[in-house]
Every structure is written in C-alpha cells, then in structure tokens.
C-alpha cells in the first residue's frame, strides 16, 4: 500500500512561441527531454484525506502545492473516496525552467493510479494532468522525449537519442514563468510571433552535439533582466559544451557535453560559485538502457 517513484526533470532543446491565444495563454512548439536529475516521492495509501510533507523545503503542504492538487483531482475523478500521505524529497530547483513541480504532480497521478489498481487509462491520466499545468501531460506520458504543441500540453512522442552529458547551472534565484511570458511581447517589440522558428530551418539556432538545433524564444527575455544567465551560457560553451541553452523560462542553463571529463570539470568550476545548484545529468533514455 506504499510506493516510491522518481519525478525526472526536463530540459527544452527547442522552444518557439507561435502566437497568443484568446484565453491569454501562448501557443508554442517545444522539444523536451527527461533527464536523470529528479525529485523522489513516497506515497502511502490512506482511507481518507491528503497530507503532504516536504522535508528540508519551505514548499507549502496544502492547496498551494501542486502535488496536493494532483492528488485532490485524482480522488475527485475516482469518486469513491480514498486518501494518501505524500513525502516529497526535492532536489530539482524551484521555478527553474526544469519542470520540477509538474513532474512531481505527474508522479502523484501515476503513483496513485498504481496504488488504486489502475482505475484510469493513460489517456484519462493525461486529461487529469492537463488542468494542473502545461508540462504535466508530458511527465505523465511514458515517453522520454517529445514535441509538445498547443500550450505545451499536446504530446507527440519523439524518438531522439542523445548520448551526451548535461551540465545544469542554476544561478540560485527563481524566475516566474508568468512574468517571462508577459514580458515576451514587451521585450521583442512589434509582432514577436515572427520569431517562432520553424524547426526544420532552425534559424539562429545554437548547434548542439550532432548539429542538434538548440533554440529558445524566451531566452532573450530572461537574460534581459538577469544577464547572469547569458554569462553562464557563454561560460558553458567556453568549458567545451557543444551547445548551451536556457531551459524553459529559466533561469537554469544547460550545456551538452560529449566528453565526460570536460563536463565534470565544468561542474566543479561552477560549483565554486553556485554550490548545490549545479548538477551533472544524462538524458533519461541513456539511463533506461542500463
């Protein structure tokens, strides 16, 4: 009646804003890959009620926490009662562009589905995930990489195979996704949606390993207010990364390295400045093969 599950983070290899919708959200096209950095959750089935613990974290434990809301929506949809005690061990930085909160919510949905004998299909879980946040359907899905369209909630499985080392550097401050999207139009001026890149062309894209196009429309917005993000990107490239990019709305920047020794050296150098906010990871697909 208990289980533990991993909640992997993600990086965005590509993110293009295609336009603004009538509901105020943005249509986008993004390529996401799950990585080995992640949180860990422990779920224990209860007869009723939802309780959440977040050791060594100042995250809220009630409605303000996405894992709580995920559990609440699961039980509401199931309609037969039930409860859960959740212990969330955070490792992924908060508001970092790595999808940590969305992945935690998805892990709760999938974990509860297992604890309660699979009442929902994969499609039904995706429907439960969608109102919780744009990235949650990606994490609910079994895939390790995907293209996402719509507001990021329409998932198209991607068969990309990366075999690189990923250095992630978080400068230690949160960035509001809402603020970044609101300032996207202000920063770009005119009609910003002409910036939305066609993946096939990869205009102005930074080339990663194997000439993999790396691009993020939101990068300039975040760097405009937080120039440290741009400096980190430049330093990763100087350290030998074949490509570097801000993930999501930031502020975390990742560098893709083909050489493990170079990646380790970069981690050690950044750790002197940013301490525990520097991580070495691999694409989840590589880990899954071992």
Q: What string of DSSP letters covers the chain? A: -EEEEEEEEEEEEEEEEEEE-TTS-EEEEEEEEEEEEEEEEEEEEESEEEEEE-TT----SSTTSHHHHHHHHHHHHH-S-EEEEEEEE--SPTTSSS-HHHHHHHHHHHHHHHHTT--S-HHHHHHHHGGG-TTHHHHHSS-SEEEEETTTTEEEE-------EEEEE--S----HHHHHHHHHHHH-S-GGGG---TTT-TTPEE-GGG-EEEETTHHHHHHH-HHHHHHHHHHHHTT-SEEEE-TTSS-EEEEES-HHHHHHHHHHHHHHHGGGEEEE-BHHHHHT-
Are 249 and 222 in contact by the 8 Å Cβ rule? The answer is yes
Domain shared by 26 and 126, yes or no: yes
Are 180 and 58 in contact by the 8 Å Cβ rule? The answer is no
Domain shared by 18 and 109, yes or no: yes
pLDDT tens digits, residue range 203-257?
445 656 666 889 999 999 999 999 999 999 999 999 999 999 999 998 999 999 9
Domain shared by 49 and 7, yes or no: yes
Q: What is the dihedral of CA 166, 167, 171, 172, to 10 degrees?
A: 80
Domain shared by 140 and 223, yes or no: no
Q: Kindly give the pairing relationship between strand 82-89 and strand 48-53.
A: parallel
Domain shared by 139 and 188, yes or no: no
Q: Which two tokens stand for residue 79?
A: 């309609």
Domain shared by 95 and 116, yes or no: yes
- CATH, residue 11: 3.30.230.10
Of the three residues 105, 123, 157, the one that is the final residue of a domain is 157
The span from the CA of 86 to the CA of 79, in Å, is: 20
pLDDT band for 25, please (50, 70, 90 cuts): confident
- pLDDT for 105: 98
Domain shared by 197 and 72, yes or no: no
- pLDDT for 188: 55
> What is the tally of structural domains in the chain?
2
Of the three residues 112, 136, 157, the one that is the final residue of a domain is 157
Of 39, 135, 153, 239, which is the active-site residue? Answer: 135
Instruction: State the greatest distance between any 2 C-alpha atoms of the chain, in Å, as a whole number.
Output: 57
Q: Which two tokens stand for residue 285?
A: 């697909």
Share of the chain above pLDDT 90, in %: 73
Share of the chain above pLDDT 70, in %: 89
- Chain centroid to Cα 147, Å, comes to 13
Of the three residues 125, 157, 189, the one that is the final residue of a domain is 157
Count other C-beta atoms under 10 Å from residue 31's C-beta. Answer: 22
CB-based burial label for 229 (10 Å; 0-12, 13-18, 19+): buried
Domain shared by 150 and 174, yes or no: no
Averaged pLDDT for residues 248-276: 96
Q: Which two tokens stand for residue 20?
A: 């603004």
pLDDT band for 288, please (50, 70, 90 cuts): very low
Q: Kindly give the pairing relationship between strand 2-20 and strand 213-216.
A: parallel
- Flag whether pLDDT at 289 surpasses 90: no
Count other C-beta atoms under 10 Å from residue 180's C-beta. Answer: 21
Domain shared by 129 and 230, yes or no: no
Domain region containing 62 = 2-157
pLDDT tens digits, residue range 184-207?
865 555 555 555 445 443 444 565
135 given a catalytic annotation: yes
18 given a catalytic annotation: no
pLDDT tens digits, residue range 127-184?
999 999 989 999 999 999 999 998 888 999 998 888 899 999 999 999 988 899 888 8
The span from the CA of 24 to the CA of 175, in Å, is: 19
Average pLDDT of the residues of the chain: 89
């Amino acid at each position: 009646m208990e289980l533990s599950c991993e909640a992997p983070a993600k990086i965005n290899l590509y993110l293009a804003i295609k336009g603004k919708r009538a509901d105020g959200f943005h249509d986008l096209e993004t390529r996401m890959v799950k990585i080995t950095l992640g949180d860990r959750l422990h779920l224990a089935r209860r007869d009723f009620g939802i309780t959440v613990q977040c050791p060594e974290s100042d995250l809220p434990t009630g409605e303000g926490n996405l894992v709580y809301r995920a559990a609440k929506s699961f039980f509401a949809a199931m309609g037969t009662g039930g409860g859960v005690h959740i212990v969330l061990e955070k490792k992924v930085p908060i508001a970092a562009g790595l999808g940590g909160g969305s992945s935690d919510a998805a892990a709760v949905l999938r974990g509860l589905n297992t604890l309660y004998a699979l009442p929902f299909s994969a499609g039904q879980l995706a429907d439960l995930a969608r109102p919780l946040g744009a990235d949650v359907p990606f994490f609910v899905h079994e895939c390790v990489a995907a293209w996402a369209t719509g507001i990021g909630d329409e998932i198209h499985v991607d068969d990309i195979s990366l075999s690189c080392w990923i250095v992630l550097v978080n400068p230690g401050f949160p960035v509001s996704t809402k603020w970044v999207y609101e300032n996207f139009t202000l920063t770009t001026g005119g009609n910003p949606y002409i910036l939305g890149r066609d993946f096939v062309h990869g205009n102005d894209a930074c080339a990663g390993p194997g000439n993999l196009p790396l691009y993020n429309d939101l990068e300039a917005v975040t760097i405009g207010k937080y120039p440290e993000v741009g400096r980190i990107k430049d330093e990763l490239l100087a350290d030998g990364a074949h490509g570097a990019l801000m993930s999501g709305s930031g502020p975390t920047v990742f560098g893709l390295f083909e050489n493990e020794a170079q990646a380790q050296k970069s981690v050690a150098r950044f750790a002197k400045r940013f301490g525990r906010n520097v991580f070495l990871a691999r694409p989840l697909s590589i880990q899954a093969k071992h």
